[in-house]
Amino acid sequence: MREIDDSWSTAALIEAAFLEKHGCEPDSPCPATVALHARGNREVLEAALTLCRSLDLEGRSLGAAILGELGFPDRTFPEECCDALVGLLHHDPSQEVVTSAVYALGHLGNRRCDPDLLALKDHPEPAIRKGVAFSLIGTTLPAAVPVLLQLMEDLHEETRDWATTTLGQAVCFDSDEIRDALLRRAATDSDDITRGEALCGLGRRGDRRGVPLLIKELARIDEQCTSCVQEAAKAYLGIDEDEDVASEELIDASRATRH
């Protein structure tokens, strides 16, 4: 396929997005979809809304993916996008399309859809429960807290990861129950990244119970989770997250805080 540029029509970009769809990861937009996001005008909005009404489930999924990041890095027509995506959540018969709509709402970041996302917390499909946890990032809705606590105990590893990440970042919420849940994930979760995100959440809340676990994680040479564990250490120590600090220094500084 030739390189995409601004001369391509919206229809040509959508056709290319269909062709690219099978070669891209589900949560990684293809170049043509990215170009549609960047264009972000009324013509693209109407084309995406038309796709969402298509009889073809792949068309509806693509329409959702376009609406979720329309106008990126800003958002154009956020209310119309939100209305269409919530409509797919409630009425689309395809689990694949509902999954696409859930993630699209997460990218859109329109918080008025949070109650609609919370209603899917018990969905039997793990990808949808994971999408709920992901899409609640940035929520300030108190009703989201018990849902995220529930999803932090989910049997699906990636759901636990995103629920832990989302609640860990939501420092507007703090309680013994939240801290205990984060500590439990930091101490017992089988997933390295989930443990690291739990430690980040404890660090942001200044809960010192996580420090011994943090030192243990820092001492493990594991490239997969180094960044989030280091971020946790910086949160505990009050170090700017962009500052480059070696793990050995973070271990020494963390140990010093125990005395």
Rg (CA), the chain: 20
d(CA 131, CA 206): 28
Distance of CA 246 to the CA centre of its chain: 28
Structure tokens at 139: 């929520």
Output the CA–CA distances (angstroms, integers) from residue 248 to 119, 174, 219, in the order listed: 44, 30, 8
Q: Which residue has the tokens 């939100």?
A: 82
pLDDT in tens, the chain (259 residues): 567 878 899 999 999 999 887 656 555 668 999 999 999 999 999 999 999 999 999 999 999 999 999 999 999 999 999 999 999 999 999 999 999 999 999 999 999 999 999 999 999 999 999 999 999 999 999 999 999 999 999 999 999 999 999 999 999 999 999 999 999 999 999 998 999 999 999 999 999 999 999 888 888 755 555 678 888 888 888 888 788 887 788 888 888 776 5
| pTM of the predicted structure, to 2 decimals | 0.90
Task: Give the domain ranges of the chain.
Answer: 1-109, 174-259
- Phi (first) and psi of residue 206, to 5 degrees: 65, 30
Q: What is the DSSP letter of 2?
A: P
d(CA 195, CA 214): 9
Q: What angle do CA 183, 194, 131 make, to 5 degrees?
A: 120
